[in-house]
């Protein structure tokens, strides 16, 4: 949940709006949870402990200059922070939903290869989303001492890296670039679609990072 730390208190939503949004969200989550089986509940909530402790100083660390201190889990991950969040979100959203469908008798389960590629596509686009938020929060993360990817590379270099890695990763995951034991097959239409999807996503997130 966005805590609006990048906005001054006068520009943040009213407290009652924030509470209404938060309680409504939890009500929806709990209602959906009540309708699920135990396997799916486990797959959704297994990353919850990390989420609850994410921004809380709870990890003991020792340094010569400061002695024993408590550090936040997110500060220990450095540039990998957004990638870890992306894996957690993809696990909750994509992996859990696909596993749930596969357990229903009325649905035909997709092949394991297709489910794996779908999961990593979810990781990729969750990584885009998380990193775009880090781009928006560069001043605040710098002040807080969070060494995120945008803090280290800067806004433009981060977007360029995301676009390059995104096109290559999606092309491989959607078989636009098919790597087999006999060689590499390139399918131009699929690569063009990867360029389009990643390009539109990067454009949207670029505008999002400028809207601060």
Q: Is 109 helix (H, G, I), strand (E, B) or coil?
A: coil
- Interhelix angle 112-136/81-90, rounded to 10 degrees, is 140
Instruction: Give the pTM.
Output: 0.81
Q: Which helix (H) or strand (E) holds 50?
A: helix 48-53
Q: Which helix (H) or strand (E) holds 183?
A: strand 183-186
Evaluate whether 126 touches 133 at the Cβ level (below 8 Å). no
What token pair was written down for 52? Answer: 């609850």
Q: Among positive and negative, which fits the CA dihedral 146, 148, 154, 155?
A: negative
Count of C-beta atoms within a 10 Å radius of residue 29? 12
Q: Provide the residue-wise pLDDT of the chain in tens; the chain has 212 residues.
A: 555 555 666 666 778 887 898 899 889 989 988 988 898 889 888 988 888 888 888 888 887 888 888 888 888 888 888 999 999 999 988 888 888 888 887 777 878 888 999 999 999 999 999 998 888 888 888 888 788 899 999 988 999 999 999 999 999 999 999 888 888 899 999 999 999 999 999 888 877 666 55
* Nearest to 124, CA basis, from 50, 198, 205: 198
């Amino acid at each position: 949940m966005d805590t609006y730390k990048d906005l001054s208190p006068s520009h943040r939503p009213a407290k009652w709006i924030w509470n209404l949004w938060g309680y409504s969200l939890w009500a929806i989550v709990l209602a959906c949870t009540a309708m699920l089986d135990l396997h799916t509940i486990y797959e959704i909530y297994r990353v919850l402990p990390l989420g609850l402790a994410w921004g809380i100083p709870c990890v003991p660390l020792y340094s010569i200059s400061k002695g024993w201190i408590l550090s936040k889990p997110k500060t220990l991950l450095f540039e990998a922070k957004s990638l870890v969040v992306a894996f957690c979100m993809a696990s909750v959203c994509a992996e859990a939903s696909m596993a749930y469908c596969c357990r229903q008798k009325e649905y035909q389960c997709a092949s394991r290869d297709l489910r794996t590629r779908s999961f990593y596509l979810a990781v990729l686009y969750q990584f885009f989303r998380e990193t775009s938020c880090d781009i928006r929060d560069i001043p605040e993360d710098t002040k807080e001492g969070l060494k995120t990817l945008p803090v280290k590379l800067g806004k433009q270099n981060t977007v360029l890296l995301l676009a390059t890695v995104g096109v290559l990763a999606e092309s491989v995951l959607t078989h636009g670039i098919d790597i087999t034991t006999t060689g590499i097959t390139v399918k131009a239409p699929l690569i063009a679609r990867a360029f389009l999807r990643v390009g539109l996503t990067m454009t949207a997130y670029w505008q999002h990072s400028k809207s601060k």
